[in-house]
Structure 1
């Protein structure tokens, strides 16, 4: 790999890491370019082999399709898995199953980078406190920008060095792998996506009966050979029927437009509100730290409109920022309604000259937990996997660009208008907007409808991306019985669905940790290879 290729890959890898702000924060970075399917397309374009990049990215994506990071916890990090694993696999000529196996170690290395970044960033937070105390407010609100130093060091440098210096050793390493080890790694890589699907189902399945939707999607493809688009349409139809014929009070949604139309005196114009919105979107996790989490982003958002709220009043501006130094953490995009509420309440406090600091802090603290749960389940745990599942189905084994392009366009087309709507509604209505979202069972039914679509699509791509076979045969005289053919005559790809359900059982019912589950799959690959119990 030549210098400029390694440089470009490292730049994209840094911009798509979880704490990078430059691609509309996580929206265009971590949740878009950071998805291995999309990363594979970009890496393939840089290395001159888009098809191979997408095929390898899709294989790694299937493994991590159910990755959710609730409360800032990080069970695995796909950044290194994608931006180091994919290019090294492409240039070495290794297949996708080898890349999936390699991604495991790289993902845990990425977790180390995540926690190192979040730990060191406390230094910047304390600097921000001192700036506010000393009245250096412009320096305080620029801490999220300065704090990118840590993320750059922990992301750009390792990715660049691994690709530029490590690339020359990878082909030699691959050719030196003995046949038996290569066979085990290939088998392991072919079954590991089942862990990703089980992780997703862990968040989506609310009742045991929901597993029927997963089985239904599997049958549509395995038995009836349905393409992914008709599968999605069937899922949408069932979700629509579930919402339509359930008792849900949707009348509260109409109150949003009514309350937004109420006239009130304002200090901020539309441009100011959009400035605050974009600052929240870009900088929400830019200086992520264990001490304050997303508080610096709230401070930057308010700091950018402080002159409108308290013109020529430095003491009031200082007090404004000081009261938001406290810990704040929520899912930042469905939860964007909260900074909108904070902005609206701060504006009203500035107008009325009332001391609302305690009320604003209480509302902010009370809402961050509920909206973190809604965002992690509805957006990260449901919408993103559904879109990725469709994209994987479109790319399949062909390496088509349609999959990643669909995901990028669909994801941003949904989330950009939605986050603006939530932020603007929060600003316009204050704490009343949160009450509307949390009332009437609306959130629960929308979540259930999306879960139906998600389970059907995940069932479909399970049989598309995993085809576990057995190599066992039985001989009686001149007759040879192929056990795999016999099983498939009863139910196509039956071993895959049984192994998938067993993985879900271990994860959910037996509460097996992800690390132990990896060890189980490694053992299964070793035993399967040497006994011919499992083959690819």
Structure 2
């Protein structure tokens, strides 16, 4: 690997993570995307597709929710794929490089979120002076730190880790190689279990087994099972009452005070809501940056502008795809709050000298407390809906479909994931912003909660069937043990296949799912799977089909 290739891959890793901060969380940093990109740059696209798909399956349930710091897939995907190609590792062995790299890479994200607290404090000082340029500079500096905290470790890993991995590749022989192969093969069970945990309820659990049985017995394939799941979900939703989410009734348009130009600007700036993300204020500086053009227009007085900037630099966090309704309502309320009382003469007489008395009309009744209350009350519910609908359902479904294609080195794998997910992303972002302006404060009163619940159940059905198909298709572990009875050699795996095909992968997944439901730490489960898989593989108890 040349220095130029290492620098390019480090830049791509940093940019993929940066896109989560400034470009609306486009999922560019997922392994199903970065694995193939790395393979393309290093001249081995098939390996990139397979390694990326394998790593995607392991971390299919990992998501950046709230202040959590999941394994960093940008670092893990690029390091694992690049070092595997450069050292001649097979995809299973590459995971033993990629997974620790992803876990260690999370420290870069921790550092970036900690350092960004300094920039939020700096933004407050600029807000005191009403300086929007200063706040913008703090936002971009915070994003630069996030970029560097991923790009620099990636470059160092590519340069320094090459010799170590080559030495590891040379030492992989016999039982050690068998153990590493099994360890890599069982790791996706954690991703499947984490995903099940976000989707499953007691009434919906059978759909996981339906998906598994279809894949195990018929070879239906993940895509086929997912499509069948979508049809079953559609029937489920239809029979329970449909999905008309917003009750139809006339209502005055709430966004009349905010010009269309400002609405479009809010939409584009909403993509940057996670900019300079910090542990103490989270999305505060990103939200404020989105509001700044409107605030500058409606508060020409620097003192008023300073007060508005400071009140929005307080804690804020919601789902990065769904800030639109909050932006819309806050923009409307800020505009009303900025409206000054107008003095007009009234036709009243004071009863003493007959002079006219001026009345205050048009005075705004929107207080600062009202504005802050709207933000505080809506960010939590929207985060909950977004996390379950998009991180818990939409993204994993297409991750699974894309990964199943990637395991076959299919060039369409990253596109099958990225394109539909981000079409939904952009459409949802735009429609929810427009709904916020159109329906105003009554938006959430008019949402049909039962229809929303039916929609989530339907999505969970599709997701669970897809997860079941993934277990039945891509968790490839068997029992190679055999014994002699009389003159016959009895193979344990053949006995298990007569009971149920893919029984061992199913049992491993259910065991991990049980541990996750009991609150076991995911990192400890990951370590346990790797160590246990290595030991059982080295001893010959478990194996991976050739």
SS in structure 2 at match of 1:480: strand
Contact 2:403 2:413 (8 Å CA) reproduced: yes
TM-score scaled by structure 1? Answer: 0.92
**Residues 109 and 47 from structure 1, CA distance in 2 versus in 1: closer, same or farther, beyond 3 angstroms?**
same
Deviation at 1:42, TM superposition (A): 1.0
Q: Residues 176-210 of structure 1, C-alpha deviation per residue, up to 9 Å, x if partnerless?
A: 34543332121100011000000000110022x42
Matches of 1:19 and 1:111, distance apart in 2: 16
Mapped partners of 2:534, 2:525: distance in 1: 14
Following the alignment from structure 1 to structure 2, what is the Cα–Cα distance between the partners of residues 213 and 224?
16
**Shift, 1:121, TM fit:** 0.9
Q: How far off its partner does 1:213 sit?
A: 0.8
Q: Structure 1 residues 422 and 135, CA, compared in 2 at 3 Å: closer, same or farther?
A: same
Bigger shift: residues 104-113 or 344-353: 344-353
Aligned to 1:336: 324
Q: SS of 1:475's equivalent?
A: strand
Cα distance change, pair 386–265 in 1 and its aligned pair in 2 (3 A): closer
Counterpart CA distance in 2 for 1:15 and 1:353 is: 47
**Cα RMSD (Å) of the superposition?**
2.1
Structure 1 partner of 2:261 = 271
Conservation of the 8 A alpha-carbon contact between 1:239 and 1:452:
yes
Listed as ranges, the matches of 1:300-339 within 5 Å are: 300-310=289-299, 312-339=300-327
Listed as ranges, the matches of 1:95-494 within 5 Å are: 95-207=90-202, 209-247=203-241, 250=244, 252-255=246-249, 258-259=250-251, 262=253, 265-266=256-257, 268-281=258-271, 283-310=272-299, 312-351=300-339, 354=364, 355-395=366-406, 397-437=407-447, 439-494=448-503
- Shift of the 111–132 alpha-carbon distance from structure 1 to 2, 3 Å rule, reads same
Listed one character per residue, the Cα deviations across residues 78-129 of structure 1 (whole Å, up to 9, x for unaligned) are 2211122221112211111112222221122122111111111111111111
> Aligned-pair distance for 1:317?
1.8
Report the counterpart of residue 17 of structure 2 in structure 1: 17
Instruction: Indicate yes or no: 2:503 matched with 1:515.
Output: no
Residues paired across the two proteins, number: 521
Q: Does structure 1 retain, via aligned residues, the 8 Å contact 2:179–2:533?
A: yes
Normalising by structure 2, report the TM-score. 0.90
Q: By how many angstroms is 1:43 displaced?
A: 0.9
8 Å CA contact 1:141–1:303 kept in 2: the answer is no
Q: How far apart in 1 are the matches of 2:543 and 2:173?
A: 17
> For the Cα contact (< 8 Å) 2:254–2:439, is it kept in 1?
no
Once residues 499 and 21 of structure 2 are traced to their aligned partners in structure 1, the CA distance between those partners, rounded to angstroms, is: 52
Alignment check: 8 A CA contact 1:221 1:460 kept = yes
> Distance in 2 between the 1:185 and 1:463 partners?
21
- 1:44 to partner: Cα distance: 1.3
The structure-2 alpha-carbon separation of the partners of 1:250 and 1:156, relative to structure 1 and needing over 3 Å to count, comes to: same
* Cα deviation 1:241-291 (Å, max 9, x = unaligned): 211111468373434xx54x748743x43232121221121x222211111
For 1:382, what is the secondary structure of its paired residue?
helix
Give, in angstroms, the shift of residue 172 of structure 1.
3.1
SS of residue matched to 2:489: strand
For 2:308 and 2:363, the matched residues in 1 are separated by 12
Which consecutive residues of structure 2, in runs of 5 or more, have no partner in the other structure? 340-361
Q: How many Å apart are 1:10 and its aligned residue?
A: 1.1
CA contact under 8 A between 2:255 and 2:440: conserved in structure 1? no
CA contact (8 A) 2:105 2:153 kept: no
Contact kept, 8 Å, 1:41 with 1:51, in 2: the verdict is yes
CA distance in 2, matches of 1:288, 1:131: 18
1:125–1:405 Cα change, 3 Å:
same
Which stretch shows the higher mean deviation, 84-93 or 58-67? 84-93
Given the superposition, is the C-alpha separation of residues 90 and 254 from structure 1 closer, same or farther in structure 2, using an over 3 Å criterion?
farther
Secondary structure of 1:334's aligned partner:
coil
CA distance in 2, matches of 1:265, 1:107: 48
Distance 1:515 1:332 in 2: 25
**Residue 46 of structure 1: CA displacement?**
0.9
Q: Secondary structure at the match of 1:413?
A: helix
Return 5+ residue gaps in structure 1 as ranges. none
Which has the greater radius of gyration?
Answer: 2
